[in-house]
Structure 1
Amino acid sequence: MPLPSKKLSSPRRTATQVTTALCLSLLAGCGAAPAPKNIAPVQSGGGFQAQYRDPPRQSRDMLISTRMNAETCLSGGVADTGAAGKGDGLVALALRGERLSRDDLLDIRVGDDETFNGDYVISRDGLLKMPFLPPIPAQGRTTDDIEQDLDRLLREGGFYDSAPRLSVRLVDMASVRVAVSGAVFEPHAVEVGLRPGGEIDRVRQGAIGASTEGRNLSTALRAAGGVRPDADLSRIELHRAGHRHILDLRGVFEGRHMTDIVLLAGDEIVVPSRQCFQDDLMRPGPISPPGISLFLSNLTQPATGNAPSAIGRDVREVPYGTRFMQAVVDTNCVGGARASSAHRSAVLFTRDPMTGVSVVIERSIEDQLHRADRDDYDPYLLPGDSIACYDSRVTNLAEIGRVVGGVAGVALMIP
């Protein structure tokens, strides 16, 4: 008579059931993940970049993303060919040269007259105040203008009967605070022209005629995060003393001279938007962002430390103009044994700088590497973007085996 089979004890049966359920759920996770959903019409090419749209399985079209981006552009900007605007030369005449601003240091000499000779700082109200003379307007004017006014006042005041020997020279340019808004990555008021103590050339500082490139328009745009790829460089607005000047900076990306004027305290700069993504602006330049700080997420199998993986604690710096797949390679998401490392994927988290709406896209790394039209679906990186890497299916199965083995070992230990 056969002996009755011994049933598993309740705790052990429960552990076996949990192990089986865990195995099934983990294996289900090896399937393809659903495509990321976005509010922006990314699939139809209506995102901030046409490169955000998902690549089809087969495509004969090559390099159409640039054309798709340009179709939504307003007139003007770097996409339009031709010389700079008609007002470019007029603006250069009206604003060219070193214009004085408050807190600038001047060296003034009137022959051998000890009464008027000395160093003077332009006051906060933009006036040059000298002993025994009415205040002289200095904000926004040149040293030649100051010399002419000083010559007139000295003779009108009875100090000289004939034109005295005069010298008004700029000794040191003060830093100024200007407002930058519009199609820049970080619109806010910025201070330009301020030099750290370690960067000051004492010999040049002691010489008459000291100047600095740190108070130029390009410096202010860069201090505000740089121009966005939707900026209209042909119509940069400069608001000064109640007047609006239109500047054309297209030359900076066309190998031509650009109108890089000296800024004054209280200037306001407005960068209009063309309401589109311009591929030509995605390259390093004097008014581009200095670089991109990427936020990263490591693979499922993390590195033993940040130093071996060449990844910083929080972010990684890449040059402006870097594309998504370049950063994926740079962050060690590509390579290794093909049998176990193929079929990885990478996710880009970004935000439309015009609307503020977030966008998530996912790319199969292997597919991007092998398709000929990869550039049409390889977006440029923007400041503040984040990248996450996902491991291959072989790595996922190995991870499942490790987890299941650990759970099974615990189940066998249950009496």
Structure 2
Amino acid sequence: MKQDQIYTYIAMICGLFSLSGCVTVQKPHNPVGAYWMPEQIDPVHDDRYDVEYANRANLTCHKKIFQPSDLGLTGAEDRSIISATPILGSGDQLAVRILGDKDRLSNIYVINADGNLYLPGLPPINIAGQNVMAAERTITNFMVAQGMARPLSSIVQLILVEHGSINVQMSGAVFSPGNRRVAERSAESKAASSLRMAIGDFNGMRTVAPALQAAGGVRPDANISQIYIVRNNKWAVVDMSAVLSGGNVPDIALADGDRIIVPSRNCADKDLIRPSAITAPGIRIFISNLTRSANNNAGAAIGKESTSLPYGTTMMDALVSGNCVGGSAMASDRWAVLVSRNPINGQSIVIRRRIEDLIHRADRDFVTPYLMPNDSVACYDSGMTNFREILGMMTDTVTPAIILSKVAQ
């Protein structure tokens, strides 16, 4: 080989190294207001502006007392809302027994969607929003007013046969706000209920905690010590913070049409980023690991188990789950990005981390963001893998040229 050819190959290799160093993930730029948890800031790799902004943003949570007017509530407080007594609503089944009735009115009825109970030949009786004892008095007073019975005690007896599902309006610091159908029973459960011999029914899903989970769970910025329950324009406040310490959680029965408002503290509380009775049990994320050693996600063993993770999983856990960690030491200089969204203001945010830093740094817990539902994690190739890719591309191009030149000679 001639000396000038050797120099040419050396120059090509040096050029490949320089190209491989350029083909890395660039630092993402996030808009002001995108950061919402301290772990999203890395003082080592983030520039001065980002670090200073994180300090100004005051990402540490402080206790805040919300007033009803802050949430747009104008009605009066009603502490009677905080009760464990089941409330009747549309879809509930009741066994109605009337003293002296010869099976003309005594039967099993379902409360209509308008909240009324329809007895044969009688005007509708509205009992939605009442407990069983109050509904008994309502029906008794109705029958006395119609001249169908004398004002005696125990004229009407109601037995709750089955609690149906209810509609609850969720708003505030929950992952999926909106109207939610709570305590829906499966067909199998309804069939088993019709066959049982027991009298009465209890549907434990018609309470506050299951309703919060039906809305995706509370977000990390939720103020769970001051959750508002609104019923008929009146409201009550419930403190659910005991759920984090294993204490007694208020078992408050919800009624059809209730509203639950979870105020936001505008910051992330790490104590709320774990499975509990009021948070999401798990999350679904998206992982991309298209490296030289894994040309597709199936080849990287990224399946349902890798993308369905417990709530409280960090970016580092997802990188291990996506096979982005480990392998050849020469290819260990890899970067990863987390694509997320600030749930408080809806702004997107992209976080960049060097994978080996997360493994070796002692402060890894302070710079490893927690994952939220529907986050995306992407792993980028190392400089050595990039060099190998470019070298292969050059080889694929140069080799045919050499062969053609030999043939031409």
TM-score interval, smaller chain: 0.7 to 0.9
Q: Distance in 1 between matches of 2:396 and 2:369?
A: 41
Give CA-to-partner distance per residue, 1:128-164, whole Å, 9 cap, x none.
3334666443111111112233344445525347434
Deviation of the 1:242 alpha carbon: 1.7
Q: 2:217 pairs with 202, 217, 226, which one? A: 226
Checking the alignment, whether the CA contact within 8 Å between 1:126 and 1:139 is kept in structure 2 is yes
List aligned pairs for 1:339-378, cutoff 5 A: 340-378=330-368
TM value normalised by structure 2:
0.81
Are the structure 2 counterparts of residues 342 and 261 from structure 1 closer, same or farther at C-alpha, using a change threshold of 3 Å?
same
Are the structure 2 counterparts of residues 216 and 155 from structure 1 closer, same or farther at C-alpha, using a change threshold of 3 Å?
same
Q: 1:56 pairs with 44, 54, 57, which one? A: 44
Checking the alignment, whether the CA contact within 8 Å between 1:76 and 1:232 is kept in structure 2 is no
Aligned residue in 2 for 1:198:
188
Name the aligned partner's letter for residue 345 of structure 2. Answer: T
Q: 1:249 pairs with 240, 265, 281, which one? A: 240
Are the structure 2 counterparts of residues 343 and 351 from structure 1 closer, same or farther at C-alpha, using a change threshold of 3 Å?
same
Give CA-to-partner distance per residue, 1:296-345, whole Å, 9 cap, x none.
1113215266555321289811110001101111110011232x232222
Aligned residue in 1 for 2:172:
182
Checking the alignment, whether the CA contact within 8 Å between 1:293 and 1:384 is kept in structure 2 is yes
Q: Distance in 2 between matches of 1:205 and 1:235?
A: 41
Give CA-to-partner distance per residue, 1:214-241, whole Å, 9 cap, x none.
3222222212221110011122122211
Name the aligned partner's letter for residue 375 of structure 1. Answer: D
Aligned residue in 2 for 1:301:
292
Deviation of the 1:274 alpha carbon: 0.6
The question of 1:144 aligning with 2:136 is answered no
Aligned residue in 1 for 2:276:
285
SS at match of 1:215: coil
Give CA-to-partner distance per residue, 1:387-411, whole Å, 9 cap, x none.
1112222222222221111111132
Checking the alignment, whether the CA contact within 8 Å between 2:289 and 2:297 is kept in structure 1 is no
Q: Distance in 2 between matches of 1:52 and 1:231?
A: 19
The question of 1:73 aligning with 2:62 is answered yes
Are the structure 2 counterparts of residues 161 and 115 from structure 1 closer, same or farther at C-alpha, using a change threshold of 3 Å?
farther
Q: 1:321 pairs with 312, 317, 323, which one? A: 312
Are the structure 2 counterparts of residues 244 and 341 from structure 1 closer, same or farther at C-alpha, using a change threshold of 3 Å?
same
SS at match of 1:309: coil
SS at match of 1:326: helix
Aligned residue in 2 for 1:262:
253
The question of 1:101 aligning with 2:86 is answered no
SS at match of 1:353: coil
Give CA-to-partner distance per residue, 1:368-400, whole Å, 9 cap, x none.
111111101011101111111122222222222
Are the structure 2 counterparts of residues 96 and 161 from structure 1 closer, same or farther at C-alpha, using a change threshold of 3 Å?
closer
Q: 1:116 pairs with 99, 105, 119, which one? A: 105
Aligned residue in 1 for 2:28:
36
The question of 1:128 aligning with 2:117 is answered yes
Aligned length: 374
Structure 1 residues not aligned, in runs of 5+: 1-16, 58-64, 78-89
Deviation of the 1:28 alpha carbon: 2.3
Q: Distance in 1 between matches of 2:191 and 2:17?
A: 65
C-alpha RMSD of the superposition = 3.1
SS at match of 1:190: strand
Are the structure 2 counterparts of residues 297 and 337 from structure 1 closer, same or farther at C-alpha, using a change threshold of 3 Å?
same
Deviation of the 1:253 alpha carbon: 1.4
Name the aligned partner's letter for residue 85 of structure 2. Answer: G
Checking the alignment, whether the CA contact within 8 Å between 1:36 and 1:360 is kept in structure 2 is yes
- Percent identity between matched residues is 37
Name the aligned partner's letter for residue 183 of structure 2. Answer: G
Aligned residue in 2 for 1:60:
none
Deviation of the 1:22 alpha carbon: 10
Q: 2:372 pairs with 369, 382, 407, which one? A: 382
Deviation of the 1:48 alpha carbon: 0.8
Name the aligned partner's letter for residue 257 of structure 2. Answer: G
Aligned residue in 2 for 1:334:
325
SS at match of 1:147: helix
Q: Distance in 2 between matches of 1:355 and 1:397?
A: 41
SS at match of 2:346: coil
